[in-house]
């Protein structure tokens, strides 16, 4: 990204897909300095579902960290965040619970006029999956 800036290349916007587990001063600086438009962050369900699937290097669930980071990014930048959930046979029935929790924690961003927090559903797409 710094190379495109140095060479004055006409990059209108960036987007990124992340697990959302890291949100530090350096990330906020990058998100402000470069023309980021969207971050896609995955949540697989409410904490009890997500934390079984996505753990940190110490084996701890990441749901609380991710939601706190989403809130921080929304507060510190102008970026739109897409909460992406891959629906599969184990988590589909918990999606409503995930939405209820996010409405409680991040509702003002969901209902904001500029649509800063939106949702995307995906299906399992690995060729070997059942």
2 band by pLDDT with thresholds 50, 70 and 90: confident
pTM (two decimals): 0.88
Other beta carbons within 10 Å of 20: 23
| CATH architecture observed for domain 13-123 | Alpha-Beta Barrel (3.20)
**pLDDT tens-place string over residues 19-42:** 999 999 999 999 999 989 999 999
**pLDDT tens-place string over residues 47-79:** 999 999 999 999 999 999 999 999 999 999 999
- In the 3-class helix/strand/coil scheme, how is 58-124 assigned residue by residue? CCCECHHHHHHHHHHHHHHCCCEEEEEEEECCCCHHHHHHHHHHHHHHHHHHHCCCCCCEEEEEEEC
**pLDDT tens-place string over residues 87-101:** 999 999 999 999 999
CA-to-CA dists, residue 23 to 29, 49, 67, angstroms:
10, 22, 11
Which of these, 100, 104, 124, lies nearest to 42 by C-alpha position? 124
């Amino acid at each position: 990204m710094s190379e495109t800036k140095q060479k004055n290349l006409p990059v209108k916007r960036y987007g990124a897909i992340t697990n959302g587990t890291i949100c530090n001063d350096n990330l906020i600086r990058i998100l402000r300095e470069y023309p980021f438009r969207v971050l896609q962050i995955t949540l697989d369900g409410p904490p009890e579902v997500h934390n079984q699937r996505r753990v940190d290097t110490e084996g701890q669930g990441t749901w609380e960290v991710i939601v706190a980071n989403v809130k921080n990014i929304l507060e510190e930048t102008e970026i739109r965040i897409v909460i992406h959930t891959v629906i599969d046979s184990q988590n589909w029935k918990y999606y409503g619970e995930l939405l209820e929790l996010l409405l409680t924690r991040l509702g003002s961003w969901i209902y904001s006029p500029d649509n800063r927090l939106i949702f995307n559903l995906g299906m399992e797409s690995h060729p070997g999956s059942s």
